[in-house]
Amino acid sequence: SPLEDSAFTAHGNDAWVSESREQLRANRCVAIPTETVYGLAANALDAQAARSIFETKGRPSDNPLIVHVSSIRMLRSLYHLPPSQGDSQIAMPFLGTNNAALEGQHLRAQLRSAEEADRKQGGDGVWPEIPRVYHDVIRRFWPGALTLIMPRPPCIPMEVLGGHGSTVAVRFPSHPVARAVISACGLPLAAPSANASGRPSPTLAQHVLHDLDGRLPLIVDAGACDVGVESTVLDAYSANAYVSEALSPCILRPGGVTYEDLRSMGGAFERLRVYRRDFTSAEMEAHPTTPGMKYRHYSPNAPVFLYVSKGAKGDAAANQLVQMQQTLGQLGGMRKVGIVTVGNSGSFEAPEQIELVEIAVANSKELAHSIFALLRRLDEVDRVDAILVQGVDDANEGLAVMNRLGKAASHHISC
Ligand code: TXA
Ligand code: MG
């Protein structure tokens, strides 16, 4: 089954696999590609390894990390490991013992007895460690761009959880390189996006190098990430902790797996909600231009102007282009301006002294795939003074990319 497959054999002897393994098992960070964005990975069972992730990217230590696994078996086994002792958790009864036969035997016995205990209590004996509400979601969307909030296995140290003690975020990535590295280590890997904190997430190895050069021993380069935005974070386990509504699944962060995809699971997912902690459309309407500093995230140095469409489709697009043209007229004093349009290339007229860098993408999916790379290119290569981006509607890939753009933008213009 693809959920149990380690996907490791094809690359087992490659130098990058053994080098990653060596670094990660020594509790150092390695940047690895995933299908969403590049991740800054380290041993999720070791407190010091987790701390070095936070240090390397300058991340606030209260923002919890996602734990990446390469099989359901690895995830289930976490619930059978002894509690975290803080540092140096490398000697595990199951994971990474170098003795595959012994490891397999030991683990199978533990998992089987958990299944048996579950059946005795009237359960179906399937994945008893994993909340039931996730079983079908896992079958449908894993491996992939979906992170699930689960009960905390005691072996995961507090440092990984950013002090939020009762849950852990878990993802089973589909990228063959990510899966090969995780299964070669025999360890779950904690990994945030491999950007310097506050910068756009990296979708190319060069982006990681730009932000973190000299701060980590190895970056594994597998070219551009497919999805381009981070995974969707879904909480169907502790969903009632976030709002007072009756327990229903909640998207904590929109991402690679869409709201529509998850809704189509039916059942409890018909009541799927999207949690908008720091950005509601009501807020956006009340304060069309938010002060830059408050929501700086995913941010290039140049100010980002985001044109949010409100009206019917065709009208909205026309309005956006008119407003973008208007802004251009007001940017006197600037030398170079980047413009990103979606589904149409407006013909813009800039004041004489302004050089335009125009980029047209086809649709929301294409925008999601390339947004971080575009922001970085305009900022780091073209060195523009401002970036104007035509927003898209919230359907499908639009929700995640508008969430990221909403945080990157210092100016929100309703159209
Ligand atoms: O696509 C991705 O998810 C990438 C790749 C590398 O896998 N990783 C990523 O990690 O985006 P990061 O650290 O940049 O974002 C993790 C998100 C944060 O919004 C964090 O607050 C949330 O997941 N998170 C982590 N643990 C959580 C928990 N126990 N409860 C609620 N949210 C959690
Ligand atoms: Mg991030």
Q: Model confidence at 163, in pLDDT bands (50, 70, 90)?
A: confident
User: Rounded to whole angstroms, how far apart are CA atoms 173 and 35?
Assistant: 7
pLDDT of residue 232: 97
Counting ligands in written order, which one lies closest to the CA of residue 40?
1
Which domains, and CATH codes, for the chain?
Answer: 9-274 (3.90.870.10), 281-414 (3.40.50.11030)
Q: In 178-274, where do the E strands start and end?
A: 189-190, 232-235, 250-253, 273-274
Nearest CA to ligand 1 atom 27: 169
The answer to whether 176 and 160 have CB atoms below 8 angstroms apart is no
Q: Is 395 helix (H, G, I), strand (E, B) or coil?
A: coil
The 10s digit of each residue's pLDDT in 259-278 is 999 999 999 899 998 886 54
Residue 289 amino acid letter: T
Q: Is 313 helix (H, G, I), strand (E, B) or coil?
A: helix
The 10s digit of each residue's pLDDT in 364-411 is 999 999 999 999 999 999 999 999 999 999 999 999 999 999 989 989
C-beta pairs of 261-265 under 8 Å, 24+ apart in sequence: 261/141, 262/137, 262/141, 262/232, 262/234, 265/136, 265/137, 265/140
User: Rounded to whole angstroms, how far apart are CA atoms 145 and 268?
Assistant: 20
Counting ligands in written order, which one lies closest to the CA of residue 35?
1
User: Rounded to whole angstroms, how far apart are CA atoms 184 and 96?
Assistant: 8
The answer to whether 356 and 348 have CB atoms below 8 angstroms apart is yes
Ligand 1 site-directed mutation target among 66, 69, 179, 220, most atoms within 8 Å of CB: 66
Q: Which residue has the tokens 């397999």?
A: 104
Report whether residue 128 contacts ligand 1, using a CB cutoff of 6 Å. no
The answer to whether 75 and 172 have CB atoms below 8 angstroms apart is yes
Q: Which of 12-16, 81-85, 201-205 has the highest mean pLDDT?
A: 201-205
pLDDT of residue 332: 81
Ligand 1 site-directed mutation target among 34, 40, 61, 65, most atoms within 8 Å of CB: 65
The model carries a pTM of 0.91
Counting ligands in written order, which one lies closest to the CA of residue 150?
1
Report whether residue 39 contacts ligand 1, using a CB cutoff of 6 Å. yes
Which tokens in the block code for residue 238?
């502790």
pLDDT of residue 87: 57
Q: Model confidence at 296, in pLDDT bands (50, 70, 90)?
A: low
Alpha-helical (H) ranges within 99-158 are 100-120, 135-141
Residue 292 pLDDT > 60: no
pLDDT of residue 243: 47
Q: Residues near 314 by Cβ (< 8 Å), separated by ≥ 6? A: none
The answer to whether 195 and 201 have CB atoms below 8 angstroms apart is yes
Higher pLDDT, 84 or 216: 216
